[in-house]
Structure 1
Amino acid sequence: MLHYAVVFFVIALIAALFGFGGIAASAVGIGKILFVVFLVLAVASYLFGFIKRG
């Protein structure tokens, strides 16, 4: 998930560099969503692992 979020942020930077504002905004939105999903899954995985061991 984090890999895809970074890829979309790079796509957004390249699109913004070439002046494609709409594509850049869309890529940033997708990147933000993927990053939030990654954070939620990472925290859930950490908590479930901590509960299982404890």
Structure 2
Amino acid sequence: MVNLIWTVVVVLVILWLLGFSIHIGGTLIHLLLVLALIGIVYNLLIGRRII
């Protein structure tokens, strides 16, 4: 599950960078960045829980 979250985060960041450099998408670019940041924070919080 953790690998899946990191994969989604990496894909979102790559799409954000592509959209930002090509200047398409407008608000969608920033939405992708926010989703990637939420994924990173979620992974950091969940990853620290060792039961």
TM-score normalised according to structure 2 size: 0.78
Aligned CA-pair RMSD: 1.1
Kindly report structure 1 stretches of 4+ aligned residues shifted beyond 3 Å. Answer: none
**How many residues are paired up?**
46
The alpha carbon displacement at 1:25 in A equals 0.5
Gap runs ≥5 in structure 2? none
Q: Larger helix proportion, structure 1 or 2?
A: 1
| Partner-residue secondary structure (3-state), 1:32 | helix
Higher Rg: 1
State the AA in 2 paired with 1:44.
Answer: R
